Amino acid sequence: MLNKTLQHKNIILASGSPRRQQFFKEMDLNFTIQLKEVAEIYPDHLKAEEITNFLAELKANTFENELKENDILVTSDTIVWLNEKALGKPRDYDDAFAMLQEIANQTHEVITSVCLKTMQTTETFHCVTKVTFSSLADTHIRYYLDKYAPFDKAGSYGIQDWIGLIGISKIEGSYTNVVGLPTEMLFQKLMRYV
């Protein structure tokens, strides 16, 4: 449906995430992938969705003055927010292990911001989902890290992975947001470009 509805638009996804790319395919979108290196550094005073909004816009701004008339650029950023602290992608195995220990027996927020940029406009929106983990034994964490290597994921886990099946006891909000993109919100926003 979106493919036909937006046939006169050129959708550009600026993300190397296989999960986001798969969502775009499943949403029936014709799109191209364009990647640019961006240092994902944000000011220390930012909190929660302020961080993801800033980073999604930072990624979009690298395309400034490059977009053509029918282009719609889509950038995004996801963090895990726990105890007033952002958990992004882990630096290494030990960092991932520490993150998973920290989120065990806790409820955290997964926050994703999406920036839609055209020649004329820039719009940023965000989605928050609450995720509750049950207890995680150290042996389970090691098994997950060794087998699934979730080092490209915020908070060091994928809800769709083994750890999500055995460790997540409750979710409040958008499932696709936790995977990495709030597809239902994105669909509604893209429909405005028809």
| Domain spans in the chain, listed from the N-terminal domain onward | 2-191
Nearest to 125 by CA among 184, 37, 42: 184
E strands, the chain, in order: 10-13, 31-33, 71-82, 85-87, 107-117, 122-133, 168-172
- pLDDT, mean of each 10-residue run, the chain (194 residues): 78 94 94 93 96 97 94 96 94 97 98 97 97 98 97 94 97 96 96 86
Q: What's the pLDDT at 6?
A: 81
Q: What's the pLDDT at 88?
A: 87
Architecture of domain 2-191: Alpha-Beta Complex (3.90)
122: helix, coil or strand? strand
* Rg of the chain (C-alpha set): 17
Q: What's the pLDDT at 3?
A: 67
Catalytic positions: 77
